[in-house]
Structure 1
Amino acid sequence: MALKSTIFKAELQIADMDRGVYASPQLTLAQHPSENEERLMVRLLAYALNTRGEADQPPLAFARGMTEMDEPDLWRKTYADEIELWIDVGLPDEKWIRKASHRSRETLVYAWGGKTPIWWAQHKGTLSRLPGLQVWELPAEQVAALAGLVARSMRLQCTVQDGQIWLGNGEQTVEILPHRLHPAP
């Protein structure tokens, strides 16, 4: 018997002063049985960092990246069903990033963990040539702290200012300082 996904609800208040985005989306996230809480929270963080907050624009959506190899973790499609933004979290395979880069206008990767420098060193040469690609490294200890915010029903606040990110639940706040690997800062 196959295990089922665990459903999480998140009420997210976003104040991204760097981009001028202010939004309060109500989100439903499905945690795949093989997905840990860190990865779940990085997907939620990626949503907060890339949503536009505009009702008249195509929305950012959680895709089935854990179960469908042909889909990212998050994406934004135009109303004509073209992929505008492709977002993967973790350390995706190089050929999937190449494929994503050719299928979408913009591709983002949020990597974290002790193996990120090794992964980037192996793939930097090839990936650096892809158009529209951004690769961000999230410090592993900060991502681990994000897992402490997980609850089946979450009320979270995300504030972004001067490249610093704070994600909290009213009782605990985690500061995240992403480092851009590509294009080089």
Structure 2
Amino acid sequence: MAAGAVVYTFTGSLADVDRGVYDELSLRVARHPSETDAFMMTRVLAYCLELEEGIAFSEGVSSTDEPAVIVRDRTGRLTAWIEVGAPDAERLHFGSKKADRTVIYTHRDPNKVLALWAGKKIHEAERIVLHSFDPGFIDAAVAVLERRNAITVSVTERQLYLDLNGVTLSSVVHDHPLG
């Protein structure tokens, strides 16, 4: 954990009807001093929406050779490279070559993020998807964020329902293919 990092906890449950994933959540998330609350909240949601065996948070923004969230199989082989925010094209190219699957979750305007990659060389860009949320959704979640959080995440037909510390929010999970 980076010096000066603030630890947040998220305790609750996940019901992802779309993928048939149901689990109890008990997450400890270190927010790096240079990381915004919006980035961290997006990282938590990416973790929940991608939850599978072998998933873990990486060192976050302080790690240059791993994405925000990573999935490894039982042998340690990298199976999913999950970025958050607006990573540069070189990083996506690198991640796409290393992992079986690469996805991005952003709290920013998806059109502006996609424009950053236009015309850039990204390995298997046609297989990469940028996921975004409705405008204001992440900001509303950040507004009720505390150091210790009660969270319930439900997903059905790409509609995300988030109950965070007693406040219920919802958003469509929008998919924007790169290629």
TM-score (normalised: structure 1): 0.87
* Contact residue 127 and residue 177 of structure 2 kept, 8 A: no
Contact 1:14 1:159 in 2 (8 A): yes
CA contact (8 A) 1:109 1:134 kept: yes
Equivalent residue, structure 2, for 1:118: 112
Q: Which moved more, 1:38-47 or 1:120-129?
A: 120-129
Tell me if structure 2 keeps the 8 A contact 1:108–1:133: yes
State the secondary structure of the residue aligned to 1:159: strand
Measure, in 2, the Cα distance between the counterparts of 1:134 and 1:118. Answer: 15
How far apart in 1 are the matches of 2:39 and 2:146? 14
Aligned residues between the structures: 177
- Rate the CA distance shift 1:119–1:183 in 2: closer, same or farther, 3 A: closer
Structure 1 residue 35: Cα displacement: 1.1
Q: Is the 8 A contact 1:112 1:143 kept in 2?
A: yes
Q: Give 1:39's aligned residue.
A: 39
Aligned counterpart, 1:94: 89
1:125-165: CA deviation from partner (whole Å, max 9, x where unpaired): 44484364221122341111110231111110001011100
Aligned equivalents of 2:145 and 2:165: distance in 1?
13
For each residue in 1:104-140, what CA deviation from the matched residue of structure 2 results, as whole angstroms up to 9, or x when unmatched?
A: 00111012324x3133124144448436422112234
Aligned to 1:158: 153
Matched, 1:21 2:21: yes
Distance in 1, Cα, partners of 2:116 & 2:56: 30
Query: 1:89-112, CA deviations, whole angstroms, 9 ceiling, x for partnerless residues?
Result: 100010000000000001110123
Question: Which secondary structure state, in structure 2, belongs to the residue aligned with residue 45 of structure 1?
Answer: helix
How does 1:44-59 map onto structure 2 within 5 Å?
A: 44-52=44-52, 58-59=53-54
Q: What TM-score results when the alignment is normalised by the length of structure 2?
A: 0.90
Q: 1:108 to 1:182 in 2, by over 3 A?
A: same
- Whole-angstrom distance in 2 between the partners of 1:152 and 1:87: 24
Identical aligned residues as a percent: 25
In the alignment, structure 1 residue 148 sits paired with structure 2 residue 126? no
Moved over 6 A (4+): none
Deviation at 1:168, TM superposition (A): 0.9
Q: Compared with structure 1, are the counterparts of its residues 183 and 147 closer, same or farther at alpha carbon in structure 2 (3 Å cutoff)?
A: same
Of 137-146 and 39-48, deviating more is 137-146
1:38 match: secondary structure: helix
Residue of structure 2 in register with 1:67 after alignment: 62
